[in-house]
Amino acid sequence: MQEQTTNDHKTLEFTPEVEHLTQPFYDRIKHVMPDVEWPIHAPVIAAINELKKTRNAIIMAHNYQTPEIFYGVGDITGDSLALAQRGAKIDAEVIVMCGVKFMAETAKILSPEKTVLLPDLSAGCSLAESITGADVRKLGEQYPGVPVVTYVNAYADVRAEADICCTSGNAVKIVESLNTDRVIFVPDGYLGRYVAQQTDVEVILWEGACEVHERFTADELRGYRNNFPGIHIVAHPECPPDVLSEADFVGSTAGMIDHIGTERPKQVVMVTECSMSDHVAIKYPDVDFIRPCNLCPHMKYITLPKILLALQTLEPQIEVDEDTAERARRSLERMLAV
Ligand code: 13P
Ligand code: SF4
Protein backbone atom coordinates (compact mmCIF):
# COMPACT_ATOMS: atom_id res chain seq x y z
CA MET A 1 0.00 0.00 0.00
CA GLN A 2 1.40 3.41 -0.96
CA GLU A 3 1.34 6.29 1.50
CA GLN A 4 1.95 9.97 1.12
CA THR A 5 1.81 13.06 3.28
CA THR A 6 0.28 16.45 2.57
CA ASN A 7 1.86 19.60 3.91
CA ASP A 8 -0.34 19.46 7.00
CA HIS A 9 1.20 16.03 7.79
CA LYS A 10 -1.97 13.99 7.32
CA THR A 11 -1.21 10.61 5.86
CA LEU A 12 -3.20 9.74 2.80
CA GLU A 13 -3.49 6.07 1.99
CA PHE A 14 -4.64 4.14 -1.06
CA THR A 15 -7.13 2.03 0.90
CA PRO A 16 -9.70 -0.28 -0.74
CA GLU A 17 -12.34 2.38 0.09
CA VAL A 18 -10.35 5.11 -1.68
CA GLU A 19 -9.77 2.76 -4.61
CA HIS A 20 -13.51 2.09 -4.84
CA LEU A 21 -14.46 5.79 -4.52
CA THR A 22 -12.05 6.95 -7.18
CA GLN A 23 -12.38 4.07 -9.65
CA PRO A 24 -14.86 5.95 -11.92
CA PHE A 25 -12.32 8.78 -12.34
CA TYR A 26 -9.53 6.36 -13.13
CA ASP A 27 -11.70 4.50 -15.63
CA ARG A 28 -12.03 7.77 -17.58
CA ILE A 29 -8.34 8.59 -17.73
CA LYS A 30 -6.63 5.22 -17.67
CA HIS A 31 -5.51 5.27 -21.27
CA VAL A 32 -3.47 8.44 -20.67
CA MET A 33 -2.19 7.53 -17.17
CA PRO A 34 0.01 4.57 -16.22
CA ASP A 35 -1.66 2.49 -13.44
CA VAL A 36 1.36 2.92 -11.12
CA GLU A 37 0.51 6.62 -10.87
CA TRP A 38 -3.07 6.20 -9.71
CA PRO A 39 -2.36 5.13 -6.07
CA ILE A 40 -0.46 8.43 -5.69
CA HIS A 41 -3.33 10.60 -6.95
CA ALA A 42 -6.38 8.68 -5.72
CA PRO A 43 -6.13 9.40 -1.94
CA VAL A 44 -5.66 13.12 -2.60
CA ILE A 45 -8.58 13.17 -5.04
CA ALA A 46 -10.80 11.43 -2.45
CA ALA A 47 -9.74 13.90 0.27
CA ILE A 48 -10.35 16.94 -1.98
CA ASN A 49 -13.77 15.71 -3.08
CA GLU A 50 -14.76 15.14 0.54
CA LEU A 51 -13.47 18.50 1.76
CA LYS A 52 -15.05 20.51 -1.03
CA LYS A 53 -18.50 19.42 0.21
CA THR A 54 -17.71 20.65 3.74
CA ARG A 55 -16.38 23.93 2.41
CA ASN A 56 -19.25 24.41 -0.09
CA ALA A 57 -16.51 24.82 -2.68
CA ILE A 58 -16.45 24.51 -6.45
CA ILE A 59 -13.30 23.59 -8.32
CA MET A 60 -12.75 25.21 -11.70
CA ALA A 61 -10.19 23.58 -13.97
CA HIS A 62 -8.86 25.09 -17.19
CA ASN A 63 -8.25 22.88 -20.23
CA TYR A 64 -4.48 23.01 -19.59
CA GLN A 65 -4.68 21.28 -16.19
CA THR A 66 -3.45 17.70 -15.90
CA PRO A 67 -6.02 14.86 -16.28
CA GLU A 68 -6.00 13.89 -12.59
CA ILE A 69 -7.09 17.46 -11.73
CA PHE A 70 -9.35 18.01 -14.73
CA TYR A 71 -11.27 14.73 -14.42
CA GLY A 72 -10.58 13.87 -10.76
CA VAL A 73 -11.68 17.04 -8.96
CA GLY A 74 -12.84 19.63 -11.55
CA ASP A 75 -16.52 20.64 -11.24
CA ILE A 76 -16.43 23.30 -13.94
CA THR A 77 -13.97 22.72 -16.75
CA GLY A 78 -13.28 24.46 -20.03
CA ASP A 79 -11.63 27.41 -21.72
CA SER A 80 -11.26 30.89 -20.20
CA LEU A 81 -14.60 31.99 -21.64
CA ALA A 82 -16.52 29.02 -20.19
CA LEU A 83 -14.88 29.47 -16.77
CA ALA A 84 -15.78 33.18 -16.78
CA GLN A 85 -19.36 32.60 -17.94
CA ARG A 86 -20.11 29.79 -15.53
CA GLY A 87 -18.19 31.38 -12.65
CA ALA A 88 -20.50 34.39 -12.87
CA LYS A 89 -23.52 32.20 -12.07
CA ILE A 90 -22.07 29.75 -9.61
CA ASP A 91 -23.67 28.96 -6.25
CA ALA A 92 -20.85 28.25 -3.77
CA GLU A 93 -18.96 29.95 -0.95
CA VAL A 94 -15.52 29.06 -2.20
CA ILE A 95 -14.03 28.84 -5.70
CA VAL A 96 -10.73 27.02 -6.15
CA MET A 97 -9.19 28.10 -9.45
CA CYS A 98 -7.05 25.42 -11.07
CA GLY A 99 -5.63 27.70 -13.68
CA VAL A 100 -3.57 30.88 -13.48
CA LYS A 101 -3.83 34.12 -11.55
CA PHE A 102 -5.70 36.16 -14.18
CA MET A 103 -8.40 33.45 -14.23
CA ALA A 104 -8.67 33.57 -10.43
CA GLU A 105 -9.00 37.37 -10.68
CA THR A 106 -11.85 36.94 -13.17
CA ALA A 107 -13.63 34.69 -10.69
CA LYS A 108 -13.09 37.17 -7.83
CA ILE A 109 -14.20 40.18 -9.90
CA LEU A 110 -17.39 38.42 -10.96
CA SER A 111 -18.08 36.96 -7.50
CA PRO A 112 -16.62 39.44 -4.97
CA GLU A 113 -18.57 37.89 -2.08
CA LYS A 114 -16.90 34.49 -2.59
CA THR A 115 -13.57 33.28 -1.30
CA VAL A 116 -11.41 32.62 -4.37
CA LEU A 117 -8.37 30.41 -3.88
CA LEU A 118 -5.42 29.97 -6.24
CA PRO A 119 -3.49 26.96 -4.90
CA ASP A 120 -0.13 28.45 -5.93
CA LEU A 121 0.33 32.19 -6.38
CA SER A 122 3.29 31.59 -8.71
CA ALA A 123 0.82 30.54 -11.41
CA GLY A 124 1.25 33.68 -13.52
CA CYS A 125 1.24 34.19 -17.30
CA SER A 126 3.78 35.79 -19.66
CA LEU A 127 0.98 37.66 -21.45
CA ALA A 128 -0.54 39.07 -18.27
CA GLU A 129 2.91 40.14 -17.08
CA SER A 130 3.71 41.99 -20.34
CA ILE A 131 1.47 45.00 -19.61
CA THR A 132 0.20 47.22 -16.78
CA GLY A 133 -2.74 49.56 -16.33
CA ALA A 134 -0.33 52.51 -16.75
CA ASP A 135 0.71 51.13 -20.18
CA VAL A 136 -2.96 51.05 -21.24
CA ARG A 137 -3.46 54.65 -20.09
CA LYS A 138 -0.45 55.70 -22.22
CA LEU A 139 -1.92 53.91 -25.25
CA GLY A 140 -5.18 55.77 -24.61
CA GLU A 141 -3.28 59.11 -24.68
CA GLN A 142 -1.49 58.08 -27.88
CA TYR A 143 -4.73 57.07 -29.63
CA PRO A 144 -7.46 59.25 -28.10
CA GLY A 145 -10.98 57.95 -28.56
CA VAL A 146 -9.88 54.51 -29.81
CA PRO A 147 -11.49 51.77 -27.68
CA VAL A 148 -9.25 49.31 -25.87
CA VAL A 149 -10.00 45.59 -26.09
CA THR A 150 -8.08 43.44 -23.65
CA TYR A 151 -7.65 39.71 -23.94
CA VAL A 152 -8.63 38.30 -20.53
CA ASN A 153 -5.05 37.05 -20.16
CA ALA A 154 -4.31 40.30 -18.32
CA TYR A 155 -4.45 41.41 -14.70
CA ALA A 156 -7.30 43.39 -13.15
CA ASP A 157 -5.54 46.79 -13.43
CA VAL A 158 -5.33 46.33 -17.21
CA ARG A 159 -8.95 45.25 -17.53
CA ALA A 160 -9.96 48.23 -15.40
CA GLU A 161 -8.45 50.57 -18.02
CA ALA A 162 -9.97 48.71 -20.98
CA ASP A 163 -13.39 49.22 -22.58
CA ILE A 164 -14.10 45.54 -23.01
CA CYS A 165 -12.50 42.12 -22.49
CA CYS A 166 -12.34 39.22 -24.92
CA THR A 167 -11.09 35.65 -24.90
CA SER A 168 -9.53 33.67 -27.74
CA GLY A 169 -13.00 32.17 -28.30
CA ASN A 170 -14.80 35.47 -28.98
CA ALA A 171 -12.06 38.01 -29.90
CA VAL A 172 -13.26 38.74 -33.48
CA LYS A 173 -16.89 39.04 -32.38
CA ILE A 174 -15.96 41.42 -29.54
CA VAL A 175 -13.82 43.66 -31.78
CA GLU A 176 -16.65 43.87 -34.32
CA SER A 177 -19.26 44.50 -31.63
CA LEU A 178 -17.71 47.92 -30.97
CA ASN A 179 -18.79 49.28 -34.41
CA THR A 180 -15.62 51.30 -34.81
CA ASP A 181 -12.87 51.56 -37.49
CA ARG A 182 -9.96 51.06 -35.07
CA VAL A 183 -9.31 49.28 -31.80
CA ILE A 184 -6.32 49.00 -29.51
CA PHE A 185 -5.81 45.29 -28.77
CA VAL A 186 -3.73 44.17 -25.75
CA PRO A 187 -1.69 42.28 -24.67
CA ASP A 188 -1.26 39.42 -27.18
CA GLY A 189 0.36 40.63 -30.42
CA TYR A 190 -0.19 37.29 -32.19
CA LEU A 191 -3.85 36.99 -31.23
CA GLY A 192 -4.24 40.65 -32.28
CA ARG A 193 -2.74 39.88 -35.71
CA TYR A 194 -5.00 36.86 -36.07
CA VAL A 195 -8.05 39.03 -35.25
CA ALA A 196 -6.87 41.67 -37.75
CA GLN A 197 -6.87 39.03 -40.51
CA GLN A 198 -10.50 38.13 -39.77
CA THR A 199 -11.97 41.64 -39.73
CA ASP A 200 -11.91 45.01 -41.54
CA VAL A 201 -11.38 46.81 -38.23
CA GLU A 202 -7.84 48.23 -37.90
CA VAL A 203 -6.10 46.63 -34.93
CA ILE A 204 -3.42 48.55 -33.03
CA LEU A 205 -1.21 45.95 -31.35
CA TRP A 206 0.69 45.50 -28.08
CA GLU A 207 3.58 43.08 -28.48
CA GLY A 208 2.98 40.65 -25.60
CA ALA A 209 3.35 36.94 -26.30
CA CYS A 210 2.54 33.62 -24.70
CA GLU A 211 5.79 31.88 -23.81
CA VAL A 212 4.23 28.49 -24.64
CA HIS A 213 2.67 29.21 -28.04
CA GLU A 214 5.41 31.46 -29.40
CA ARG A 215 7.79 28.47 -29.27
CA PHE A 216 5.99 26.59 -32.06
CA THR A 217 7.47 27.06 -35.55
CA ALA A 218 6.05 26.66 -39.06
CA ASP A 219 8.94 24.25 -39.84
CA GLU A 220 7.86 22.03 -36.97
CA LEU A 221 4.30 21.88 -38.40
CA ARG A 222 5.60 21.12 -41.91
CA GLY A 223 7.63 18.32 -40.30
CA TYR A 224 4.39 16.80 -38.90
CA ARG A 225 2.81 16.90 -42.36
CA ASN A 226 5.84 15.15 -43.91
CA ASN A 227 6.11 12.52 -41.19
CA PHE A 228 2.38 11.86 -40.78
CA PRO A 229 0.70 12.22 -44.19
CA GLY A 230 -2.97 13.25 -43.87
CA ILE A 231 -2.52 14.59 -40.31
CA HIS A 232 -4.99 17.30 -39.22
CA ILE A 233 -3.37 20.30 -37.54
CA VAL A 234 -5.30 22.47 -35.06
CA ALA A 235 -3.68 25.49 -33.43
CA HIS A 236 -4.35 28.12 -30.78
CA PRO A 237 -4.41 31.75 -32.06
CA GLU A 238 -1.66 32.72 -29.58
CA CYS A 239 0.80 31.10 -32.05
CA PRO A 240 2.81 33.22 -34.53
CA PRO A 241 1.11 33.95 -37.91
CA ASP A 242 3.35 31.64 -40.01
CA VAL A 243 2.45 28.76 -37.65
CA LEU A 244 -1.28 29.53 -37.93
CA SER A 245 -1.08 29.61 -41.71
CA GLU A 246 0.13 25.97 -41.65
CA ALA A 247 -2.87 24.87 -39.54
CA ASP A 248 -6.14 23.37 -40.80
CA PHE A 249 -8.11 24.98 -37.97
CA VAL A 250 -7.43 27.84 -35.54
CA GLY A 251 -9.46 28.23 -32.35
CA SER A 252 -9.61 28.63 -28.59
CA THR A 253 -8.95 25.58 -26.43
CA ALA A 254 -12.70 24.79 -26.41
CA GLY A 255 -12.96 25.59 -30.14
CA MET A 256 -10.25 23.04 -30.90
CA ILE A 257 -11.99 20.38 -28.82
CA ASP A 258 -15.35 20.99 -30.53
CA HIS A 259 -13.71 20.98 -33.94
CA ILE A 260 -12.09 17.58 -33.33
CA GLY A 261 -15.41 16.26 -32.00
CA THR A 262 -17.19 17.32 -35.18
CA GLU A 263 -14.53 16.41 -37.75
CA ARG A 264 -13.20 13.23 -36.07
CA PRO A 265 -9.93 13.25 -38.05
CA LYS A 266 -7.97 9.99 -37.90
CA GLN A 267 -4.78 11.66 -36.70
CA VAL A 268 -4.37 15.08 -35.09
CA VAL A 269 -1.69 17.34 -33.74
CA MET A 270 -2.84 20.03 -31.31
CA VAL A 271 -0.52 23.00 -31.45
CA THR A 272 -1.04 24.19 -27.90
CA GLU A 273 -0.21 23.26 -24.30
CA CYS A 274 0.54 19.52 -23.77
CA SER A 275 -2.23 18.57 -21.35
CA MET A 276 -4.92 19.43 -23.90
CA SER A 277 -4.16 16.37 -26.03
CA ASP A 278 -4.64 14.12 -23.00
CA HIS A 279 -8.13 15.52 -22.35
CA VAL A 280 -9.22 15.28 -25.94
CA ALA A 281 -7.73 11.78 -26.29
CA ILE A 282 -9.86 10.77 -23.29
CA LYS A 283 -12.96 12.28 -24.91
CA TYR A 284 -12.33 10.87 -28.40
CA PRO A 285 -10.44 7.57 -28.04
CA ASP A 286 -10.94 6.86 -31.77
CA VAL A 287 -8.64 9.80 -32.71
CA ASP A 288 -4.87 9.29 -32.76
CA PHE A 289 -2.95 12.21 -31.21
CA ILE A 290 0.62 13.15 -32.06
CA ARG A 291 1.72 15.13 -29.01
CA PRO A 292 4.24 17.91 -29.18
CA CYS A 293 4.95 18.89 -25.62
CA ASN A 294 5.12 22.57 -24.77
CA LEU A 295 4.19 22.82 -21.10
CA CYS A 296 2.81 25.99 -19.51
CA PRO A 297 4.98 26.17 -16.38
CA HIS A 298 2.39 28.43 -14.72
CA MET A 299 -0.49 26.00 -15.17
CA LYS A 300 1.71 23.22 -13.85
CA TYR A 301 2.27 24.96 -10.50
CA ILE A 302 -1.20 23.69 -9.62
CA THR A 303 -1.08 20.15 -8.19
CA LEU A 304 -3.49 17.95 -6.25
CA PRO A 305 -1.64 18.31 -2.89
CA LYS A 306 -1.70 22.13 -3.28
CA ILE A 307 -5.44 22.07 -4.05
CA LEU A 308 -6.04 20.00 -0.91
CA LEU A 309 -3.92 22.34 1.20
CA ALA A 310 -5.77 25.38 -0.19
CA LEU A 311 -9.09 23.85 0.82
CA GLN A 312 -7.78 22.95 4.28
CA THR A 313 -6.33 26.39 5.01
CA LEU A 314 -8.55 28.57 2.76
CA GLU A 315 -5.31 30.13 1.48
CA PRO A 316 -3.90 31.60 -0.72
CA GLN A 317 -6.83 33.91 -1.45
CA ILE A 318 -7.10 36.23 -4.43
CA GLU A 319 -8.16 39.79 -3.64
CA VAL A 320 -8.82 42.64 -6.06
CA ASP A 321 -9.25 46.14 -4.60
CA GLU A 322 -12.81 47.43 -4.85
CA ASP A 323 -12.25 50.31 -7.25
CA THR A 324 -10.17 48.23 -9.69
CA ALA A 325 -12.62 45.35 -9.42
CA GLU A 326 -15.59 47.63 -10.12
CA ARG A 327 -14.00 48.99 -13.32
CA ALA A 328 -12.65 45.59 -14.42
CA ARG A 329 -16.10 44.07 -13.84
CA ARG A 330 -17.62 46.52 -16.31
CA SER A 331 -15.26 45.40 -19.10
CA LEU A 332 -15.86 41.72 -18.27
CA GLU A 333 -19.63 42.16 -18.10
CA ARG A 334 -19.63 44.02 -21.41
CA MET A 335 -17.90 40.99 -22.91
CA LEU A 336 -20.36 38.55 -21.33
CA ALA A 337 -23.27 40.58 -22.70
CA VAL A 338 -22.06 40.36 -26.35
P1 13P B 1 -8.37 29.75 -23.84
O2 13P B 1 -9.03 31.05 -23.64
O3 13P B 1 -8.40 29.28 -25.25
O4 13P B 1 -8.82 28.74 -22.86
O5 13P B 1 -6.80 29.97 -23.58
C6 13P B 1 -6.30 30.43 -22.39
C7 13P B 1 -4.85 30.39 -22.40
O8 13P B 1 -4.21 30.66 -21.43
C9 13P B 1 -4.22 30.00 -23.64
O10 13P B 1 -2.87 30.00 -23.52
FE1 SF4 C 1 -0.30 32.39 -20.18
FE2 SF4 C 1 0.56 31.03 -22.28
FE3 SF4 C 1 0.37 29.81 -19.93
FE4 SF4 C 1 -1.85 30.51 -21.28
S5 SF4 C 1 -0.31 29.02 -21.89
S6 SF4 C 1 -1.46 30.82 -19.09
S7 SF4 C 1 -1.19 32.43 -22.22
S8 SF4 C 1 1.75 31.51 -20.42
Which tens digit of pLDDT belongs to each residue from 225-238? 999 999 999 999 99
> Measured between alpha carbons, how far is 330 from 301 in angstroms, rounded to an integer?
30
Predicted confidence (pLDDT) at residue 2 exceeds the cutoff of 70: no
CATH of domain 128-210: 3.40.50.10800
The C-alpha angle with vertex 281 and arms to 276 and 282, in degrees rounded to 5, equals 100
From the CA of 123, how far away is ligand 2's center (Å)?
Answer: 10
- Predicted pLDDT at 311: 98
Q: From residue 211, how far is each of 132, 198, 257, 317, 320 by CA, in Å?
A: 18, 24, 22, 26, 25
| Distance from the first to the final alpha carbon of the chain | 53
Q: Is 114 in the pocket of ligand 2 (CB under 6 A)?
A: no
- Predicted pLDDT at 1: 44
Q: Is 210 in the pocket of ligand 1 (CB under 6 A)?
A: yes
Which tens digit of pLDDT belongs to each residue from 58-67? 999 999 999 9
Which tens digit of pLDDT belongs to each residue from 68-127? 999 999 999 998 888 988 887 888 999 999 999 999 999 999 999 999 999 999 999 999
Predicted confidence (pLDDT) at residue 280 exceeds the cutoff of 80: yes
Whole-prediction pTM: 0.92
Contact 202, 146 (CB under 8 A): no
- Mutational pocket test of ligand 1: of 65, 195, 215, 236, the residue with most ligand atoms within 8 Å of the beta carbon: 236
| Domain 213-289 CATH (choose: 3.40.50.10800, 3.20.20.140, 3.10.20.30, 3.30.420.40) | 3.40.50.10800
From the CA of 238, how far away is ligand 2's center (Å)?
Answer: 9
Looking from the CA of residue 126, the nearest atom of ligand 2 is 8
Q: Is 167 in the pocket of ligand 2 (CB under 6 A)?
A: no
For residue 39, give the H/E element and its range.
helix 38-54
Predicted confidence (pLDDT) at residue 331 exceeds the cutoff of 70: yes
Give the chain's radius of gyration (CA, Å): 20
Give the HSE-up count for residue 324: Cα atoms under 13 Å, Cβ half-sphere.
14
Q: Is 77 in the pocket of ligand 1 (CB under 6 A)?
A: no
Paired strand residues for 185: 149, 205
Q: Specify the 3-state DSSP secondary structure of 298.
A: coil
- Predicted pLDDT at 7: 46
Domain ranges of the chain: 3-125+299-313, 128-210, 213-289
**The domains spanning 3-125+299-313 and 128-210 adopt the same CATH topology:** yes
Looking from the CA of residue 83, the nearest atom of ligand 1 is 4
- For domain 3-125+299-313, is the CATH number 3.40.50.10800? yes
Q: From residue 74, how far is each of 110, 223, 231 by CA, in Å?
A: 19, 35, 31
Q: Is 167 in the pocket of ligand 1 (CB under 6 A)?
A: yes
